[in-house]
Amino acid sequence: MPTHPTAAILAIGDELILGQTLDTNTKSIADALTNHGVIIREHATVPDDLDQLTDAITRLAKTSNLLITTGGLGPTEDDLTRQALANTLNQSLIEDPKALVQIRTWFTSRNRDMPEANRVQALRPPQARMLTNDCGTAPGLAATLQNCKIFCLPGPPAEMQPMFDREVLLALATEDAPPVTTRILYTAGLGESYIAGKLAELMHRENPVLIGTTASLGLVAIRIRTHLDAESARTQIDQAEQQIRTRLGPAIFSNKHNLQAHIIERLTDRNQTLGTCESCTAGLVAKLITDPPGSSAAFNGSLITYTNELKQKLARVPKTIIDQHGAVSGQCAKAMAEGAREQLQTDHCLAITGIAGPTGGSNNKPVGTVWIARASKDAATDTRHFLFKGSREIIRQWSATTALTLLRLHLDKVTMPLPCQQ
């Protein structure tokens, strides 16, 4: 059986170290390599410092079959990847005439003269090969050191990505490693520790099928992964999925789509529509449900009713409800969902009213008190009381994902209590 190549990814730049730029290159490279059957050994990040950069390249090239670096190929003094690679290879830089022509052409085709500073971008260690950059001036570099293929790619994602796709994926295509097979099961309404407890013996790291979880706001994705060859991989993954489904039951709603995409698919299949009426989330549910492309087939729009006046005026909440029970109450949430559903002319409507804090709480209604209602043309309204813990932002996010979960329960005909429900 062919073995899986290993890789390390090295992100280079002070801006990454200082937290000014989010390192998205490592994420997209790791994702693509994993899908091509490569085992990622390490992610590393170093500042624009020649010694640190040289040390990192030298060390990582010894421990992996593939080393991808990004950044530090620009024309300025803090762009040190060329020199670091030369140091690692124990060579001096030479000018590559073909690369110099390409850089010059990049400028002349834009009616500009090449600044003298850009000339350094045509330098390479003699043992390295230049990689053409069609989207910018910095050519990449490729070299081999013992068992490691090193690819140095530019930092800007728009330049890095096409070069990665063309050069690195091509190099991988020539190796016949079996791909890593993965599947994701999406759950809503269960805590990560509850899931980890239920799946404990399936999650041992030495099992041939690896199972891991990623949790965010009551939504837990369960990743099933194996490096077995393609034939047995599918069977093993099917089996693992079945075992997980037996343990977690209907909290798993999809093995294809996240919560928003799943809801849009369900609504579209039934030719039904959704609206929202949001107070403390002020449109967050509407934002989330419109993340998947194609959401317009099922999502009509929202009322953002932050004030009591607009709850009455737009969602037709009777004044007596607000006077008697307050705006943060089950009665108000129910009236918002039902009233807005009428006004927006939709099959379903989700309404949220609550106290996101940090001020505005009381003994009776502490910060984090949230009422969520789902009104539907085809069923009685479901109104629930929650007490979410955390910052203003976290309370708002939990409220939004919980509202979507409430709708998912109805669409999939599933009943269960939800996290933080009172």
Q: Does 23 bind ligand ATP (CB under 6 A)?
A: yes
- Residue 49 binding result from Mg ion, ligand ATP, none, given CB thresholds of 5 to 8 Å by partner type: none
Distance of CA 274 to the CA centre of its chain: 25
> 5 or 155, CB closer to ligand ATP?
155
As separate numbers, helices (DSSP H) first and strands (DSSP E) second, the chain gives 15, 17
The encoded tokens of residue 56 equal 């990192």
> 120 or 411, CB closer to ligand ATP?
120
Q: Provide CB contacts within 8 A for 53, sequence distance 6+.
A: 12, 46, 72, 80, 81, 84
Q: Does 162 bind ligand ATP (CB under 6 A)?
A: no
Cα distances (Å, whole numbers) of residue 262 to 16, 188, 405: 35, 11, 11
Candidates 9-17, 177-185, 289-297, 325-333; binding stretch for ligand ATP (CB under 6 A)? 9-17
Q: Is 218 left (phi over 0), alpha (psi -120 to 50) or beta?
A: left
Q: Does 161 bind ligand ATP (CB under 6 A)?
A: no
* Closest C-alpha to 150, from 78, 97, 91, 103: 91
239 by DSSP, 3-state: which? helix
Q: Does 105 bind ligand ATP (CB under 6 A)?
A: no
> 47 or 179, CB closer to ligand ATP?
47
> 70 or 401, CB closer to ligand ATP?
70
Per CB under 6 A, contacts with ligand ATP among 24-83 are 24-26, 70-74, 79
> 71 or 218, CB closer to ligand ATP?
71
Of the candidate residues 37, 125, 139, 154, the single one contacting ligand ATP (CB under 6 A): 154
Q: Does 5 bind ligand ATP (CB under 6 A)?
A: no
**Burial class of residue 28, CB neighbours in 10 A (0-12, 13-18, 19+):** middle
Residues in contact with Mg ion by the rule CB under 5 A: 13
Backbone angles phi, psi at 368, to 5 degrees: 100, -10
- Residue 292 binding result from ligand ATP, Mg ion, none, given CB thresholds of 5 to 8 Å by partner type: none
Q: Does 156 bind ligand ATP (CB under 6 A)?
A: yes
Q: Does 14 bind ligand ATP (CB under 6 A)?
A: no
Per CB under 6 A, contacts with ligand ATP among 122-151 are 136-138
How many CA atoms within 13 Å lie on the side-chain side of 171? 21
**Residues at the interface with ligand ATP (CB under 6 A):** 11-13, 15-16, 21, 23-26, 70-74, 79, 136-138, 154-157
